Structure 1
Amino acid sequence: MVPLSTFLNLTFTGLVVGAIYGLFALGYTLVYGVLRLINFAHSEVFMWGSFAAVWMMTLLNARAGSGGPAAVLYLLLALLAAMAVSGAVALLVERVAYRRLREKKSPPLVALISAIGASFMLSEIMGLRDRIAGWLNLDGVLGDYVRPARENTQFVNPLPNATLLDVGGFQVRSTQLIVLVAALAMMIALEQFVRRSRLGRGVRAVSQDAEAAALMGVDQKRVVQLTFLLGGLMAGAAALLYLMHIGVTRYNVGFILGIKAFTAAVLGGIGNIRGALLGGLVLGLAENYGSQLFGSAWKDVVSFLLLVVVLLFRPTGLLGESLGKARA
Structure 2
Amino acid sequence: MDLELFLQQLANAISLGSLYALLAIGYTMVYGILRLINFAHGDIFMFGTYMAFYMMTSFLLPWGAAFFIAIILTIAFGVLVEKAAYKPLRNSPRMSIMISAIGASFLIENLAIVVFGGRPKSLPVPDLFNRIIHIGNVSVVSITFITPIITMVALAVLMFIVNKTKTGMAMRAVSKDYEAARLMGIDVNFIITFTFAIGSALAAIGGIMWGLKYPSLLPLMGVMPGLKCFIAAVIGGIGDIRGAVIGGFILGLIEIMLIAVFPELTGYRDAFAFVLLIVILLVKPTGIMGKNIAEKV
User: The TM-score by the shorter chain falls in which range?
Assistant: over 0.9
Are the structure 2 counterparts of residues 322 and 253 from structure 1 closer, same or farther at C-alpha, using a change threshold of 3 Å? farther
Which residue, out of 124, 131, 134, partners 2:110?
A: 124
Maintained 8 Å contact 2:20/2:229: yes
CA apart distance, 1:60: 4.7
Q: The residue matched to 2:88 in structure 1 has which SS?
A: helix
- Name the CA distance, whole Å, in 2 between partners of 1:79 and 1:288: 28
Q: Any stretches of 5+ residues in structure 2 without a counterpart? A: none
2:267 maps to 297
- Name the CA distance, whole Å, in 2 between partners of 1:183 and 1:78: 20
- Name the CA distance, whole Å, in 2 between partners of 1:165 and 1:195: 39
CA apart distance, 1:322: 8.7
2:193 maps to 225
Structure 1: which amino acid aligns with 2:105? S
CA apart distance, 1:310: 2.0
1:106 maps to 92
After TM superposition, the score normalised by the length of structure 1 is 0.84
1:23-42 mapped onto 2 (5 Å cutoff): 23-42=22-41
Divergent runs of 4+, >6 A: none
- Name the CA distance, whole Å, in 1 between partners of 2:40 and 2:161: 24
1:178 maps to 146
Are the structure 2 counterparts of residues 242 and 55 from structure 1 closer, same or farther at C-alpha, using a change threshold of 3 Å? same
Which residue, out of 283, 289, 297, partners 1:319?
A: 289
Greater radius of gyration (CA): 1
CA apart distance, 1:302: 1.7
Maintained 8 Å contact 1:270/1:322: no
Structure 2: which amino acid aligns with 1:274? R
Note if 1:310 corresponds to 2:269. Answer: no
**284-293 or 74-83, which deviates more:** 74-83
1:115 maps to 101
- Name the CA distance, whole Å, in 2 between partners of 1:209 and 1:61: 47
Note if 1:96 corresponds to 2:65. Answer: no
- Name the CA distance, whole Å, in 2 between partners of 1:292 and 1:173: 18
Q: The residue matched to 1:164 in structure 2 has which SS?
A: strand
Q: The residue matched to 2:288 in structure 1 has which SS?
A: coil
Maintained 8 Å contact 1:179/1:244: no
Count of aligned pairs: 290
Q: Any stretches of 5+ residues in structure 1 without a counterpart? A: 63-73, 130-145, 324-328
**309-318 or 253-262, which deviates more:** 309-318
State the Cα deviation string for residues 174-228 of structure 1 (Å, max 9, x = none).
Answer: 1211122112211221121111111111111100122221121111111111111
Q: The residue matched to 2:58 in structure 1 has which SS?
A: helix
CA apart distance, 1:84: 1.3
Aligned-pair identity in percent equals 36
1:38-53 mapped onto 2 (5 Å cutoff): 38-53=37-52
- Name the CA distance, whole Å, in 1 between partners of 2:232 and 2:210: 16
After TM superposition, the score normalised by the length of structure 2 is 0.93
Structure 1: which amino acid aligns with 2:185? G
